[in-house]
Chain A
Amino acid sequence: EVQLVESGGGLVQPGGSLRLSCEASGFTFSTYSMNWFRQAPGKGLEWVSYISVSSTRIYYADSVKGRFTISRDDAKNSLYLQMNSLRAEDTAVYFCARCPGSYSFDYWGQGTLVTVSS
């Protein structure tokens, strides 16, 4: 069974940093591209970042470019999102999701809440 479990969310002050993790199981993690998404309270889904197999291609949404860094550790079956210079508008539930191709996302984690507030 494919499972994605996010962790690392919490309350952080504006300007602070957090590192999110997404632990994968039930599939060969190294053979899939992965993504981070977020959903602000009461709002819609927003794509945040993409990382390809072997980390050869990485993309970011303009809203996080220069502040967030996506990475993966295939030996640990894990995906990461380092978030720096956090702003109030970064407050959201952050989801990781697997990309099987066709720019679609077939399995999602349950999400981890990031709250940026003083």
Chain B
Amino acid sequence: QSALTQPPSASGSPGQSVTISCTGTSSDVGGYNYVSWYQQYPGKAPKFMIYEVSKRPSGVPDRFSGSKSGNTASLTVSGLQAEDEADYYCSSYAGSNNFVVFGGGTKLTVL
């Protein structure tokens, strides 16, 4: 069982927006602004999409945005495109004992 809770699946039609949640506790998501998001295609390595809750690395489209409220972080994908269909994982710093914890992943389907 993953430390952070994500919905197993999410979906949307091309052009629409979809939001994926990532719920933790005050010991991880709620306690630090160190939430990251990763995109992973089947059989491939994860790709770095968001860091420090809402910052985008260079090269990541601005269709991807992150936010946080309390113990829940969110990833929003706007203007859905077919290439956005992938698994998405959130992670958070969880202190020196647990270091980094992940969500179980959300499979995003573009209808």
Bitwise, B35-71 to A at CB < 8 A (1) or not (0) is: 0101010001111100110000100000000000000
Q: Which B residues are in CB contact (< 8 Å) with A47?
A: 91, 99-102
The 5 A-B residue pairs whose C-beta atoms are closest, nearest first, are A103-B93, A104-B51, A108-B45, A104-B36, A44-B105
Contact A50 B36 (CB under 8 A): no
Known: A106-B48, A107-B48, A109-B45. A45 touches B99 (CB 8 A): no
Q: Which residues of A contact B (CB under 8 A)?
A: 35, 44-47, 50, 59, 61, 95, 97, 102-111
Known: A45-B38, A45-B89, A103-B34. A108 touches B46 (CB 8 A): yes
Cross-interface CB contact of B45 among A35, A95, A103, cutoff 8 Å? A95
Contact A45 B102 (CB under 8 A): yes
Main secondary structure of the interface of A (DSSP, over half): strand
**For the complex, what is the distance from the CA of A59 to the CA of B44, rounded to whole Å?**
26
Contact A105 B36 (CB under 8 A): yes
Q: Which residues of B contact A (CB under 8 A)?
A: 2, 32, 34, 36, 38, 40, 44-48, 51-52, 57, 89, 91-93, 96, 99-105
Q: Which A residues are in CB contact (< 8 Å) with B104?
A: 44
Q: Which A residues are in CB contact (< 8 Å) with B101?
A: 47
**For the complex, what is the distance from the CA of A47 to the CA of B51, rounded to whole Å?**
16
Contact B2 A59 (CB under 8 A): no
Q: Which A residues are in CB contact (< 8 Å) with B40?
A: 45
Contact B99 A44 (CB under 8 A): no
Contact A104 B34 (CB under 8 A): yes
**For the complex, what is the distance from the CA of A61 to the CA of B99, rounded to whole Å?**
8
